[in-house]
Amino acid sequence: MTNSDALAALAREIAAASLPLGEATLVFGEGDLGAAVMFVGEAPGFHEDQQGRPFVGRAGKLLDELIRGIGWKREQVYITNIVKRRPPENRDPLPDEIEAYQPYLTRQIGIIAPKLIVTLGRFSMNYFLPDAKITRDHGRVLTIDGTLVYPVYHPAAALRSTAMLETLRADFGRIPRVLSGELAPEAPVAAAASAVPVFKNPRSGKENSKQKRLF
């Protein structure tokens, strides 16, 4: 099965499943289906819900600009969210909602098998790294089960704070060197403390490998 077939089947499965936020539009994700880099945000907002595409509102425009700023095109990466439908009034996603969509994101990551996951904002970061703190840990180069994970601020937060925007730009500027390995990841910390399977990554050779506590 091609990545395209596998992702289309996964999207159909989500559409047919009984999941929280089921009234809202499914915003599955888009981009290069074999991308080396996957950006993972929080949840769709108003514009994403309208268009069925991730990061197409103001935060999305900033994300596009940041991607262009490192010499890449949006179509070369894959963009998705931990929660695939818009929470009402753009409220934060609830733990139950994150958990309900989690098996689908796990499989989506497994199909695309990116080399690097850039987490956008604290919800996405804490999905992978439950004990991390965004102000402390943004810009750290980490590995989980052989996949690089690089937390940065959420573009929407950066739109509200000049200092955060500067930091986000600086962290973004390092992404190519994170991907190339020039900025070496920190040694993975071994103990698997969470029971939540994050990746089903073919490259790791493991099914449902466990999330690692790095902090």
Q: Which is nearer to ligand URA, 39 or 199 (CB)?
A: 39
> Which one, 36 or 159, has the nearer CB to ligand URA?
159
Return d(Cα 70, Cα 171) in angstroms, integer. 11
Is residue 49 part of the contact set for ligand URA (CB under 6 A)? no
- Helix (H) / strand (E) containing 49: helix 46-51
Decide whether 59 or 111 has the Cβ nearer to ligand URA: 59
> What residue number has its CB nearest to ligand URA?
41
Q: Rule CB under 6 A: is residue 62 a binding residue for ligand URA?
A: no
Q: Which stretch binds ligand URA (CB under 6 A): 5-13, 31-39, 49-57, 186-194?
A: 49-57
Nearest-angstrom CA–CA distance, 53 and 197: 26
C-beta of residue 200 within 8 angstroms of C-beta of residue 207:
yes
Choose which of 29, 31, 45, 114 interacts with ligand URA (CB under 6 A): 45
CA angle 63, 142, 101 (to 5 degrees): 60
Contacts of 3 (CB under 8 A, 6+ apart): 33, 34, 111, 112
The smaller minimum CB distance to ligand URA, of residues 83 and 111, is found at: 83
Site residues (vs ligand URA, CB under 6 A) = 41-45, 48, 54-55, 57, 59-60, 81, 156
